[in-house]
Amino acid sequence: MFGHNVSLLRSSGTLLAILCCIMVLTSCSGNAQLAHTNKDEEKLITIVHSLPNESLDPHNEWIALRAGITETLLRLDENMQVNPWLAVKWEAKDDLTWQFTIRDGVTFQDGTKLDAAAAKASFERGITDSKALAAALKIQHMEANGQVLTFTTTESHPAFPTELVHPTTSLISVAAEQKMGKAAFNKAPVGTGPFQVNAFISGQEISLSRFDGYWDGKAKLSKVKFLFNADANVRTMAFQSKHADIVYHLAPEALGTIGQDAELAVQSVTSLRTHYFTYNPKSASVSDLFVRKAIDKLIDRDTIVKEIMLGHAHPANGPFYSSLPFGNKGGYTKFSPEEALKLLERAGYKKNGNGKLEKNGAVLQLKLIAFSGINPELPLIPLLLQSDAAKIGMDIQILSVEYPDVYIKDHTDWDLSTSSYLTSPRGDGASFLTAAYVPGGSYNPANIHVAQLDPILKALHATGDVQTRNQLTQQAVQVINETNVNSFIIHPNILVGINQRVLNWKPGAEEFYIVSNQMDVR
């Protein structure tokens, strides 16, 4: 049934557009297979990611860290544990005071030294330019002394170190920004990473070259092309044609063909991302809990996993993957149009002569804001919901936009919207809960507020005990599921194509670290 919808998206017109885009990719990147054989013996790698970036601003975008331009004080290891990076050690002096020792011998790409004063200036720049970062860090005061940077927070913040692994806490050279100006700096930020920016084409490409003064050893690659394309088919064909070495978010239906090429491999990585629907708290239709619960029953998670993701996903029963210590241990909502119809009848809806659900003479018609691209499954999930809802008389109209969260922040004429976020990239759920359920949070463009969450979040932010934090997080998820302010759909795997010429590299679940000094090519 749904495969027919997928096939419709593979029309000849679409394929022609894809082939044109491949030509553009080719002209940008050259043939990656031949790039390392020139007379200078330079090693080049080409990466294609799904999310176009209009800016490289390190304090508002993730791409500078992903591209190996910037680094953070702390980082996550493969087990999602917080480890030293630009800070070699840290400790809590009291409930409000954290002291970090900055690694000695590190320089920015402009040659200036990284010390506590430079780090302090970077954080001041970040919390001034980013409301989301300021809200997450809760910094009241900073003091720099040699290589020691001391933070004083506005309130007890036990999870403060975990916040410092986030890409938007990247350290940058404020001195370089002052020389270049903000606009120029945000196109070529200066960090401490193994690669520096040669050129940036907004929304298309970053050209990177090795920073020979990198503190952790000169990179094995001399250059990196980091391309962006929101079309999964274009990305997949760039990988199959070997014009790209590493490609993120491949189209699942292409995996069989890719598997027939011995030079290509695909890694399906269990991610920390969750796809879900957000309900508009200002919508007259979905303000009814019965309607939200009915929609939740109309989400066919099993079909999404099996037919859209081809098994490369897991049904979601909350924002966090169930195997995490703070994840919901209960089952997920099963697809049941019959139960959905009963819930809608409890909400006062009945079918009219045309088979449409209506109440007080008004037909139940909902507006769903969907992604137009990015991950290949994101435009398809709303189509499946629309089809299944129509069978019981619910009319769902889909509006596809590039970034739904941007749309719903500025509009009220919608009922539900697709969202997709990394919900636990720090090995802890508190950051997502704050970002998604506190009005003004960076993941809360609809300004959702659930009063029952307030005391739970207050207790969560006040304790550093891991077991207690896990229990409080699970309580918060229970409240979220009971109020149904979101419908959690799946936890998708990250499908990453890797040419076999690539050495010393693999994708991580956190989606933070892509370009490194260790990655190499044959």
Boundaries of every domain in the chain? 17-68+182-269+495-521, 74-176, 273-491
Whether the pLDDT of residue 102 is over 80: the answer is yes
Give the distance, in angstroms, between the CA of residue 511 and the centroid of all CA atoms in the same chain: 7
Position 34 scores a pLDDT of 40
For 184-263, strand residue ranges (E) read 195-201, 205-210, 223-228, 246-248
Spatial strand order of the sheet with 362-363 comes to 350-351, 357-359, 362-363
- Quick one: pLDDT band at residue 38, thresholds 50, 70, 90? very low
- Quick one: pLDDT band at residue 427, thresholds 50, 70, 90? confident
Position 461 scores a pLDDT of 87
CA distance linking residue 406 with residue 413, whole number of Å:
13
State the burial class of residue 192 (Cβ atoms within 10 Å of its Cβ: 0-12, 13-18, 19+).
buried
**Strand, coil or helix: 180:** helix
Name residue, tokens 């040669």: 198
- Quick one: pLDDT band at residue 230, thresholds 50, 70, 90? confident
Mean pLDDT of the chain: 91
**Strand, coil or helix: 338:** helix
Q: Which long-range contacts (CB under 8 A, 24 or more apart) does 104-107 make?
A: 104/147, 105/215, 106/192, 106/215, 107/192, 107/213, 107/215
**Strand, coil or helix: 331:** coil
What average pLDDT does this structure show over 70-87?
A: 94
Position 138 scores a pLDDT of 93
Whether the pLDDT of residue 105 is over 70: the answer is yes
Cα–Cα distances (Å) from 80 to 77, 146, 157, 271, 476, in that order, read: 5, 30, 20, 12, 22
Q: Which amino acid is at 341?
A: L
DSSP single-letter state for residue 108: -
Residue 64 contacts residue 58 (beta carbons within 8 Å): yes
Cα–Cα distances (Å) from 62 to 13, 77, 134, 170, in that order, read: 33, 18, 16, 9
Residue 332 contacts residue 316 (beta carbons within 8 Å): yes
Q: Which of 72, 86, 64, 68 is nearest to 185 (CA)?
A: 64
CB atoms within 10 A of CB 454: 12
- pLDDT 10s digits, 255-282: 999 999 999 999 999 889 999 999 999 9
- pLDDT 10s digits, 150-185: 999 999 999 899 999 999 999 999 999 999 999 999
Whether the pLDDT of residue 5 is over 50: the answer is no
CB atoms within 10 A of CB 11: 10
What average pLDDT does this structure show over 184-199?
A: 98
Residue 285 contacts residue 359 (beta carbons within 8 Å): no
Residue 88 contacts residue 101 (beta carbons within 8 Å): yes
Q: What superfamily would CATH give domain 74-176?
A: Periplasmic binding protein-like II (3.40.190.10)
- pLDDT 10s digits, 434-453: 999 998 888 999 999 999 99
> What's 17-68+182-269+495-521's CATH class?
alpha beta
CA distance linking residue 385 with residue 364, whole number of Å:
15
- pTM for the predicted model, two decimal places: 0.84
DSSP single-letter state for residue 284: T
CB atoms within 10 A of CB 156: 15
CA distance linking residue 421 with residue 489, whole number of Å:
12
Position 26 scores a pLDDT of 46
β-pair partners for 358 = 350, 363
Whether the pLDDT of residue 325 is over 70: the answer is yes
CA distance linking residue 218 with residue 220, whole number of Å:
7
Name residue, tokens 């929609």: 295
Q: Which of 189, 266, 241, 231 is nearest to 52 (CA)?
A: 231
Cα–Cα–Cα angle for 222, 223, 226, rounded to 5 degrees: 150
- Quick one: pLDDT band at residue 6, thresholds 50, 70, 90? very low
Measured between its terminal Cα atoms, the distance across the chain in Å is: 44
| CA-atom Rg of the chain in angstroms | 24
What average pLDDT does this structure show over 142-153?
A: 98
Position 2 scores a pLDDT of 38
Position 442 scores a pLDDT of 85
Position 228 scores a pLDDT of 94
For 245-394, strand residue ranges (E) read 246-248, 264-270, 273-279, 313-315, 350-351, 357-359, 362-363, 365-371
Q: What is the CATH number of domain 273-491?
A: 3.10.105.10
Residues 6 or more apart whose CB falls under 8 angstroms from that of 277 comprise: 295, 299, 368, 416, 417, 418, 419, 486, 487, 489
Same fold, 17-68+182-269+495-521 and 74-176: yes
